[in-house]
Amino acid sequence: MDDVHEEFYATALKLVTCTEKNAAQAIEQFEQHAISHFEQEDEWMRTTNFPPRDCHLDEHAAVLKSVREVKEAVAQGQAGADIVQDIGMALFQWFPGHADYLDSALAAWMTKLNMGGKPIVLRRKL
């Protein structure tokens, strides 16, 4: 999960820094990342019967829907780099809360199932 989250930041950074030339490519790459990232977690939630999964599944679906709308608008020439940068900024604002509350709850649940105990969380003091 941590590796996938590193990839989230790398692909979202490409949205924020895109130009008119590579905006379409950046949003397509992010969509590909989001599909595999969210599908993996959705599958974990379903196969382990994670109890509070509905809100987590809904957030994934809502984000992917917005990403697809932006991708379509760019493909049809109705949106440019500024809109792609905007969704990138929105994703940067959304993700820390999602990872802290929803993804970490899923990680704790799966670790408890597999190892019988919860993981400890190490935080850097910034």
Q: Which residues bind Fe ion (CB under 5 A)?
A: 41, 103
| Distance in angstroms (rounded) separating the CA atoms of residues 59 and 52 | 12
Instruction: Identify which of residues 23 and 103 has a Cβ nearer to Fe ion in the complex.
Output: 103
Report the nearest approach of Fe ion to the CB of residue 88 (Å): 17
Instruction: Find the angle CA(34)-CA(10)-CA(62) to the nearest 5 degrees.
Output: 25
Q: Tell me whether residue 27 or residue 102 sits nearer to Fe ion (CB atom).
A: 102
8 A C-beta contact, residue 108 and residue 32? no
Q: How far is the CB of 108 from Fe ion (least distance, A)?
A: 13
Amino acid at 92: F
Among residues 28 and 94, whose Cβ is nearest to Fe ion? 94
CB of 92: closest distance to Fe ion in angstroms? 14
Q: Which is nearer to Fe ion, 23 or 41 (CB)?
A: 41
CB of residue 70 to Fe ion, shortest distance in Å: 19
The answer to whether the beta carbons of residues 107 and 120 sit under 8 Å apart is no
What is the number of the residue whose Cβ is closest to Fe ion? 103
Residue whose C-alpha is closest to residue 59's, from 37, 74, 75, 81: 37
Helices and strands in the chain, H and E counts: 5, 0
